[in-house]
Structure 1
Amino acid sequence: MKDTKKTLSKLSKSLDETLQAVTKATIKDCQAADFACLPDDVLVHIFEMYIDDCVMQDYGLFYIPPENSPQVLSSVCKRFREIVHHIPNLWRHISLLYPKELLRLHKERCANPSVHILPARDILHTRVETLDVIHPYKQWRELHLHFVNEDHAHHYFERLKPLVKGPFHSLEYLSISNNLSEDTEIEGEYDTSIYLDEEHMSFVSSWQMPKLTHLELRNSMPFMPLQCGNVTRLSIRLSDLYEDDCLELSDFQDLFGWMPKIESLLIHFDTDVTFNTEDTPQTSDLTASLPRLTHLDLGIEGDTPDDTIIHFMTLIDTRRLTRLALKLRSGNLNTHSEGQGEAVFEMWVDTLFLKASPGDSAPFTRVEEFTLDAVDLPGSSPSFELIFTSLPNVRDISLKIPRNSNFRITRQWMEGGAFQHLRSLHVEVFMVKNSWEHESPVGCHPLLYSGFDVLSNGCYCGDLEEMEVRNRVPCFSAKEKARLQNLFGERLHWVDC
């Protein structure tokens, strides 16, 4: 399956390059010989991957066609056009900015669209009238509701109220995103807050979404029940909140309680606003609201206090997790001074692995898949040791780290329980530009003295099947590459990016 996925990804990239070349030269005949012999079902899969990368434009004065569209595919050659015209899924994306003729075409070719309501340049360009001419709400498969602020959202809600008369029978995905920005053209009637006005919240709360499985919330926190009990994936992103906002632990607990089938949770904090310490949830069993959670993706950025993470993690039963992904970013923090990046990295790692589950000696004992993305925060050796000795049963590890990370595996880690069941390790090394760090010699590369010799020892890592290194550092030593090749043999997959 991995090989198939890689092959399809390469084919998709090749197609993208071909389409760009063809479009620029206005050539109508397909020049991609590699695609000419592919069966239709493979081409359809590649086309769907291509359309998945479609990026909708915000609402401006003029309509700008997306770079990835069925129209572009249709213009390549006759065979592509015949395939595209008969695959409804390739016509699923629609925007209120689309011309009426284009909306009519998409409406004819796809019965269950993904509707994109995007930020408008000002209150006069929300395009709300287009809601009257697109597919009926009962047919929507996805709704991406993204607005500048609640004054803009008010226009959409008022237009939707007479249209929505019953359940969203087809809706599988819903995204609500608030930029929390000001519109200089008007004097705002509503507060700039993650909490909607009561009238607006009541309207959203009335939506019946029996098929919804994926909910995304960005700077939007419901305080009335949502009717989407079949959601299995929940994403929450909080960034650049106003000081007047205060996070309530009980709001998160209520939200989780409305969706008891959640299996995967993504939560991203990029704000110095923290939880109300006086807020006390209704029950002492905080983890009861997420009984099926097995996957946690946690993002922490910028000025986010460690107290925010400590409070939030009381809602997570880490002992049930089988997949853990961490994304750590410096954001606007000043990490240019030597040692500052390591200090921030250490603070967040200590918060997660020392304080996530007080009194539990192995809070992440079931985690089998672990991902760490910290491309601009160099980690210290003690922090890495704490992470990996806290994951005794991890099998697959993926790391994205800067070149100045102090990543050095020792026997002490192994004796502490690290990597005992390791099956695959993927390491991607990034360049980092700091004011205090000049172009450092090759010796600063984290892979040079990383202690991978220990991993090659069958006594510790007898299950290791794959070691992948993606190197983005041009000054890396070829000698080290050869050394790793000697250690891991055919298990090593090396990629120079």
Structure 2
Amino acid sequence: MQLWCTDWLRTFEDASESTERKVQVAKSSLQRMKSVGKLLSTISTSLERTIEAVSNQSLWMIRVSGFSSLPDDVIARIFELYYEGYRNHVGDDYFNSCGDCRWGRSFRAANVLTQVSRRFRLIALHIPALWDCISGNTRHAEEMVPALRARCQYPNIFINYDCLKETRISTGAKFFRLLPPADQWRGLAVFHGYRKGGRKFFEDIQAISDGRLVSLLDLQISLGRDLWLLEEIEVDEDDTPTNLTESESALLAEWSFPKLKRLSLNDIIPTRMDCLTLQECRIVLGINDANWDLHSLGTFFECIPLLESLSFSFIDVIPMEPDDQMLLRLSEPVRLSCLRLLELHATGETEGAFLTNVLDLLDLRATSTLKVSLRCDSSNPDTFSACISDWLSALACTKRDGDRIFPDVRDLRLSLHGKCSECVLPYSDVMRSVPRVRNLVLNLPEISEPPFKVVFEYLKELRLIRLEDCNSFRGWNVARDLERVEPQKLKQLEKFEIEGSRGLWRYRKRLAKRLGNKLVWKE
């Protein structure tokens, strides 16, 4: 105060000064301080704008300077983390669309890093993990593979047999001969279409490895069999509903994978595999006329007792013949005592009966996390409702003894995709099948809300509800439902999260009144 109004303080404390004099000094001091305040405000605004401008102009230089000042070992670790994320993303994208000849063609991140600066190049060249992906589908594979082999002894291999003709390496056998010995491979991802004359992949692997892939941690096999192609070729007589010939199935059963941790199978059902250590398995079936051999699938599950994570994706799949279904019901479910995560994805014309048949293969009592994603693209409300209801009912019912129960599931994520804001779905069937769920995540972008009164009725241990992008939920309906829930059941709820569900925002006060500090909004 003394800094800004010394004259006022002196006058105010002087008892001999008249009131009129004090008023005059007070007005003068206030006017002067207000003028200074305006000037400082103008200066402050100008300073803030200048700070922002300089920050924007220098941000990149500061980041580069700061990054460059890091020690080599820290930069090397950053490169490894960056490349690991890039490799996984690119590898998954290519595997999901592996019929494309671009699949597995190139992993460019490491090459980009070497071109930034001489220092980065020297660091990158001495990190084996940055060069662990070797693709047989680049045009210059014959020159590149030896260089990559020198930089990384334990590679991940990517090859699309149907596109080898576009490269200088004309056969898979020739490509495999360029690689390090098969007992050093860490990963193998292969796509092979259904072509007259058989699929050479199995023969090539047998020849190069003698079936001993003792260091392999990750295996991805995708065998195509497009309908248009089937009409133009002569199908092998020994072809089976596993999409493997008897000889291919026999070879795969003989191979040894003592360290295999992750397995992805696209349109293929092995009968047996020697991979007792397998922890993660992903199975994609998308051939709607295959009459898939689920007996073989059940036999395969018996080979992987340590499985912890299982993912199914079904695209346009119909169930097997009635006689086969009868035999399936007579077989005992395979118990996977270590299975913790089960993911189910269904789309297209997949029938609920097929989903039921697959789930009936397994004893799922150990599962603790269940993720369900269903997509129906029909714009007809009745068709959409029938399709989603068929899948949900298949999830909640068995063909053996009625209701299917997941007694240990604590986390449930339900994602329904399509355009139907007015439809009645059997949510109660699903909730009844997971009575011990504590954490419920609903991702229903264009689907109407479930009856939350029913949710609380069946899920008696519920602690968390999270709504993600539930943009078609009617706020008044949700609020009314929650108001009907017994206070004791709401009391045990710890958190009710809402993220990206725009339609509920206008009812936030009503929801907050009912939920209190349990309600959490996320933008």
Q: Which band: TM-score by shorter chain?
A: 0.7 to 0.9
Relative to structure 1, is the Cα distance of residues 445 and 233 closer, same or farther in structure 2, using a 3 angstrom cutoff?
same
Q: How does 1:358-437 map to 2 (within 5 A)?
A: 358=401, 363-376=405-418, 378=420, 380=423, 383-410=426-453, 412-414=454-456, 416-418=457-459, 420-429=461-470
Q: State the TM-score, normalizing by the size of structure 1.
A: 0.76
Q: Which residue, out of 107, 110, 113, partners 1:73?
A: 113
Q: Give the secondary structure class of the aligned counterpart of 1:169.
A: coil
Q: Which residue, out of 314, 318, 323, partners 1:273?
A: 318
Query: RMSD of the alignment, in Å?
Result: 3.8
CA offsets, 1:15-65, max 9 Å, x none?
xxxxxxxxxxxxx99965775577444553234223322245969899996
Higher helix share: 2
Partner of 2:292: 247
Relative to structure 1, is the Cα distance of residues 348 and 273 closer, same or farther in structure 2, using a 3 angstrom cutoff?
closer
Residues 407, 446 of structure 1: 8 Å contact kept: no
Residues 310, 341 of structure 2: 8 Å contact kept: yes
Q: Give the secondary structure class of the aligned counterpart of 1:237.
A: strand
Shift of 1:273: 3.0
Q: Which residue, out of 316, 331, 340, partners 2:383?
A: 340
Asked if 1:492 is matched to 2:523, the reply is: no
Shift of 1:460: 1.9
Residues 418, 447 of structure 2: 8 Å contact kept: no
Residues 74, 81 of structure 1: 8 Å contact kept: yes
Q: Which residue, out of 272, 286, 301, partners 2:332?
A: 286
Residues 439, 465 of structure 2: 8 Å contact kept: yes
Q: Which residue, out of 77, 80, 88, partners 2:128?
A: 88
Task: Report the Cα distance in structure 1 between the residues aligned to 2:321 and 2:219, rounded to whole angstroms.
Answer: 28
Partner of 2:181: 136
Residue type of the partner of 1:479? R
Task: Report the Cα distance in structure 2 between the residues aligned to 1:471 and 1:233, rounded to whole angstroms.
Answer: 31
Q: How does 1:451-466 map to 2 (within 5 A)?
A: 451=479, 453=482, 459-462=488-491, 464-466=493-495
Residues 271, 303 of structure 1: 8 Å contact kept: yes
Q: How does 1:225-240 map to 2 (within 5 A)?
A: 225-240=272-287
Asked if 1:199 is matched to 2:276, the reply is: no
Shift of 1:389: 3.9
Q: Give the secondary structure class of the aligned counterpart of 2:470.
A: strand
Task: Report the Cα distance in structure 2 between the residues aligned to 1:94 and 1:323, rounded to whole angstroms.
Answer: 35
Residue type of the partner of 1:449? N
Residues 187, 216 of structure 2: 8 Å contact kept: yes
Q: Which has the larger radius of gyration?
A: 2
Partner of 1:116: 158
Q: How does 1:27-106 map to 2 (within 5 A)?
A: 35=67, 39-40=74-75, 41-42=77-78, 44-55=80-91, 66=106, 68-78=108-118, 80-98=120-138, 99=140, 100-106=142-148
Residue type of the partner of 2:367? L
Residue type of the partner of 1:238? L
Relative to structure 1, is the Cα distance of residues 190 and 285 closer, same or farther in structure 2, using a 3 angstrom cutoff?
closer
CA offsets, 1:229-262, max 9 Å, x none?
22222222111333xx322332122111122222
CA offsets, 1:324-351, max 9 Å, x none?
11111115xxx21233322222222122
Q: Give the secondary structure class of the aligned counterpart of 1:406.
A: coil
Residue type of the partner of 1:425? R
Residues 114, 124 of structure 2: 8 Å contact kept: yes
Shift of 1:402: 2.7
Q: State the TM-score, normalizing by the size of structure 2.
A: 0.73
Residues 51, 90 of structure 1: 8 Å contact kept: no
CA offsets, 1:194-246, max 9 Å, x none?
432222222222211111122221111224x322122222222111333xx32
Work out which structure has the larger RCO, using CA pairs closer than 8 Å and 6 or more positions apart in sequence. Answer: 1
Gapped runs of 5+ residues in structure 2?
Answer: 1-59
Gapped runs of 5+ residues in structure 1?
Answer: 1-27, 431-443
Residues 51, 68 of structure 1: 8 Å contact kept: no
CA offsets, 1:273-324, max 9 Å, x none?
3123323659956224534333221222222222212222222224332111
Asked if 1:170 is matched to 2:210, the reply is: no
Higher mean alpha-carbon deviation, 392-401 vs 51-60, is at 51-60
Task: Report the Cα distance in structure 2 between the residues aligned to 1:459 and 1:33, rounded to whole angstroms.
Answer: 58
Relative to structure 1, is the Cα distance of residues 171 and 161 closer, same or farther in structure 2, using a 3 angstrom cutoff?
same
Shift of 1:267: 1.7
Asked if 1:160 is matched to 2:205, the reply is: yes
Residues 268, 300 of structure 1: 8 Å contact kept: yes
Instruction: Report % sequence identity.
Output: 20
